[in-house]
Amino acid sequence: MIIPAIDLIDGAVVRLFQGDYAQKTQYQLDPVDVVNDYANQGANWLHIVDLTGAKDTDKRQLSLIKRMVETKRMDFQAGGGIRSEKDVSQLLDIGVKRIVIGSLAAKQPELVKQWVSKYSPEAIVLALDVNIDEQGNKMIATHGWQQSSGVALEGLLEDFLSVGAKHVLCTDISRDGTLQGSNESLYAQMKQQFPSVVWQASGGIGSLADIEALKPTHVDSVILGRALLEGKFTLTEAIACWQDA
């Protein structure tokens, strides 16, 4: 599945380069218009990152996200600084189907495992952003990629599989926002090692050829952000490319 992504700061559609708020591109787009546009092009899901809420959970853009959900044009997964069960329940209450949890999964796994059990594996997406070192170790980064958790991707996944965790959005940080292509070997290896996980590949897609290159990995979904906003190709073209297996 192709899943378009939208990043929001103070109601505006933006993109960050490798998670850096100082390297921000703002687009003159209304988020609800983007929902309708992507739905018209065939999207079934939208991935929302609330960057304002990630910095300050008291400023989570709930009213905007609610307006997007109320279009009923597709299903939504949303995240950005999910730090408490209140954050999870607030988003579920306004109709978001899946809550995307990043740093907390590495920092407080027992808490997040409780949420997987309570709200169901379908309701939680683990967003695992990795730095891969020269030895091939996949270490999860936290705090907007500024810190290493010291936790390896494989170890964390084994832990979460014990409670039936299902959805994982995995980003190779070195590729994000670069339009230089995905890390196909990462996803091929992870899908082979953890076949029960529904994998979402994120970061680096800059062309239809990059989407094509992910097919042999058997990854389940591809997240598209900057490439769509900058018109590298249309969402309709991306969906057609992915389905032409």
- Looking at 147-190, which runs of residues are DSSP E strands? 147-152, 167-172
Tell me if residue 244 is catalytic: no
**Backbone phi and psi for residue 99, each to the nearest 5 degrees, phi listed first:** -100, 130
CB-based contacts of 109, cutoff 8 Å, min separation 6:
156, 159, 160
| Measured distance CA(24)–CA(218) in Å, rounded | 32
**Active-site choice (7, 50, 172, 176):** 7
Tell me if residue 7 is catalytic: yes
Residue 27: CB atoms within 10 Å: 15
Closest CA to 198 of 77, 92, 81, 85: 77
**Active-site choice (50, 87, 129, 210):** 129
> Are the C-beta atoms of 125 and 79 separated by less than 8 Å?
yes
Place of tokens 């390297």: 23
| Measured distance CA(46)–CA(74) in Å, rounded | 7
Question: For residue 45, what are its two tokens?
Answer: 């899901």
Give CA angle at 80 (185, 128), nearest 5°: 25
Give CA angle at 191 (18, 48), nearest 5°: 40
| Measured distance CA(10)–CA(31) in Å, rounded | 11
Q: Which positions are annotated as active-site residues? A: 7, 129
